[in-house]
Chains A and B, each alone.
Chain A
Amino acid sequence: MASLSFVNVCKTYKNGLTVVKDFNLDIKDREFLILVGPSGCGKSMTLRMIAGLEDITSGELWIDGQLMNMTSPQSRDLSMVFQSYALYPHLTVYQNMAFGLKVHKVPKDEIEKRVGRAAEILHISHLLDRKPSALSGGQKQRVAIGSVIVRQPKAYLMDEPLSNLDAKLRSQMRVELAKIHRELGATIIYVTHDQVEAMTLGTRIVVMNSGVIQQAASPNDIYENPVNKFVAGFIGSPSMNFFPVWVARRGEKICLEFGKNKLIANEICSKRLVEDGYVGRRVYLGIRPEDFHEEGPEEQKILFDVEMKEVLGAEILFHGRINREEICVRLSPNVKAEPGERLPVYVDMDRIKLFDMDTEQNIIYV
């Protein structure tokens, strides 16, 4: 297994378009690192640069203390699962899994042993004689992972490997992947745009946007303490609600005012807002859908017009508007409200986030 290090890595196309900018990151041995971000944010490009499939325009990539910028993909001792599985259609499952080992001239009995073990882990022992065309999507996916884990390379690279699977299979495979990581103790770099995968699988998440790292932290940190409005909005489903609010001093208290709604900031927020000179200015207030409650103190109450509701069984999502801003609220199923009604909800003020209007940085980031 290996540790990786990026130093000021940039990728610019011939037409001058920069897709990865000044990428600095250290990936520890045995880490399950998730690169997450919207389409076109440069996460797949970063993975391809690690694999050696794309040249690095500037900066340095170190793997296990060795500079890898000019090393060919075959000499990097990495393996990669592609979004399209990349199984060789003319070879059987066994031959597909054994291909990389054969290329590396691993003895035949060792190949048999490793393929057998990987097939057992992935529950595909009964499929070894089949061709990829005779496999379902989930089985192909397992074979693709199998052909990667038999190699025992320095690090495993995975490029949205679950994106072609249906929801049920995807959640099953998430569990399998987490198990494999635990069993192999491997360094895995995993690209996805699915934040559920990011939150459940990763030991650390790197959120990217427009080729720039926005935040690299543990899933819990990213969720609880986002560095800026982009990260706060990207992580979490349904995403965080944002409202532009005025910060005003009302007597001893600091209030966040929008329309007729007035929320009193807690002590930590008030202190930070006063210290940083936000009183009398507008900021973004961020509230996650689950941070609204049916009951609470009067000073935390806001009213919103319900436009639609989604009954999910264990909870209900209410979509509506406060003034002109859209809002999504997650409440328990015993809340009775119908579209067209005005619903009072109470904000958990200890969990709100505040973002600078211009820089969109988290004002209460710790």
Chain B
Amino acid sequence: MDSVITTAAKEINRDELEKLKRSATQKALFRRRAGKFALVIVNLAMSIFVLLPLLYAVSIAFMPSSELFTTEMNLIPGNPTLENFRQAMVKIPLNRFIVNSFFVAGCITFGQILSCSLAAFSFSFLDFKGKNLLFMVVMATMMIPGEATIISNYLTVSGLHWLDSYNVLIIPYLTSAMGIFLFRQFYKSFPISLYESARIDGCSNLRFIYSILIPLTKSAIGAMAVYTFINAWNMYMWPLLVTGSDRMRTVQIGIGMLDSVDSQSISMMIAGVVMIIIPSISVFIAGQRQLIRGMFSGAVKG
């Protein structure tokens, strides 16, 4: 009789235990989901806050002027139009400017990758007298602000009769101390035994760079390419100083030209801005993984 009661009590206990377990699991699940949901909401709110100026600019670009200059809060265009884009293209030769900027930024990117990777190769792999001193000199140039040398640079290029040409936009930027530094840091984490092994195998330095180093440092090259392209695309001061004709102007100056006294159309100007940020954003999106991998390479053991 006793044993029947004990078994029944055990059965009840087991059922209760199961119920308790289930409710505890459900509570934990709810808490986890609520936490995740709250995080998503906070993230969404933050991203809207951060992106609002950009999104509003895109919205203005499609907004007729009549909608913009009202007392109402027009965040989204009521009658979207492409007129602002058309006007921006008519007002200034934006196509030509975009082509110029692409060409200049492309050449600078290619040139910097080539020159900086070769310079960094010598600083990392080769052994020559005064290597450290020379590297320090290169690094020291990073401490001089560009504005400080702009006049002397202008005098030099004008002496060479390069003003208002692609030469003047590209050649002074074909190398950079920052690029050399970035590549050198990357190469420092490169196993030296691979270089030594290649040399013993009869490989020349150039062949090593071409067939071993470049394929293995793609992320550094990608990071450098994105960084350089965006910097070159956004150049303003130097092109403004050394170019005078529409033939050689770059997009950043073009946007400045839209903001003239006699044509104060904010929506048209913003349409121009939206057009020219598309390439740099695309380059960043395409290369962001490489950029982040390149920037943080060697930061953690991997």
A interface residues (Cβ-Cβ under 8 A, vs B) = 51-53, 72-80, 82-84, 86, 88-90, 99-100, 103-104, 151, 157
Contact = CB atoms under 8 A, between A and B. Distances in A.
Given A82-B193, A86-B191, A103-B207, A151 B201 contact: yes
- Interface residues of chain B: helix, strand, loop or mixed (majority): helix
B194 A53 contact: no
Return the 10 tightest CB-CB contacts between A and B, nearest first: A100-B201, A86-B197, A86-B193, A74-B202, A73-B199, A103-B202, A82-B193, A90-B215, A80-B200, A73-B200
B155 interface: no
Contacts, number: 56
Interface in B182-199: 191, 193-194, 196-199
Nearest to A79: B200
Contacts of A86: 191, 193-194, 196-197
Interface string B204-247: 10010000100110000000000000000000000000000000
A268 B194 CA distance: 54
A53 B201 contact: no
Contacts of B200: 51-53, 73-74, 76, 78-80, 157
Contact of A82 (B197, B207, B216): B197
A79 B215 CA distance: 23
B12 interface: no
Nearest to B195: A86
B283 interface: no
Contact of A74 (B193, B194, B199, B216): B199
17 contacts: A51-B196, A52-B199, A73-B196, A73-B200, A74-B199, A76-B200, A78-B200, A79-B200, A80-B196, A80-B197, A80-B200, A82-B193, A82-B196, A89-B216, A99-B198, A99-B201, A103-B203
Contact of A79 (B191, B201, B216): B201
Contacts of B203: 74, 99, 103
Contacts of B212: 88, 90
Nearest to A80: B200
Of listed B194, B202, B212, B216, residue having the most chain A CB within 10 A = B202
A104 B202 CA distance: 7
Given A88-B212, A90-B216, A74 B204 contact: yes
B54 to A, nearest CB: 38
B212 to A, nearest CB: 6
A53 B215 CA distance: 24
B253 to A, nearest CB: 42
Of listed B196, B197, B216, residue having the most chain A CB within 10 A = B197
A78 B202 CA distance: 9
B157 to A, nearest CB: 41
A90 B215 CA distance: 7
Contacts of A75: 202
Contacts of B199: 52-53, 72-74
Contacts of B207: 103
Contacts of B197: 80, 82, 86
Interface string B98-126: 00000000000000000000000000000
A82 B195 CA distance: 11
A84 B191 contact: yes
B216 A100 contact: no
Contacts of A78: 200
Contacts of A157: 200
Nearest to B127: A55
Contact of B194 (A77, A79, A88): A88
Contacts of A79: 200-201
Nearest to B197: A86
Contacts of A99: 198, 201, 203
A79 B200 CA distance: 6
Of listed B191, B196, B201, B216, residue having the most chain A CB within 10 A = B201
A311 B212 CA distance: 51
A90 to B, nearest CB: 5
Contacts of A80: 196-197, 200
Given A89-B216, A90-B216, A100 B202 contact: yes
A73 B198 CA distance: 10
B193 A84 contact: yes
B239 to A, nearest CB: 39
A51 B201 CA distance: 11
B209 to A, nearest CB: 13
B173 to A, nearest CB: 31
Contacts of B196: 51, 53, 73, 80, 82, 86
A100 B211 CA distance: 12
Contacts of B193: 82-84, 86
Of listed B196, B207, B215, residue having the most chain A CB within 10 A = B196
Contacts of A51: 196, 200
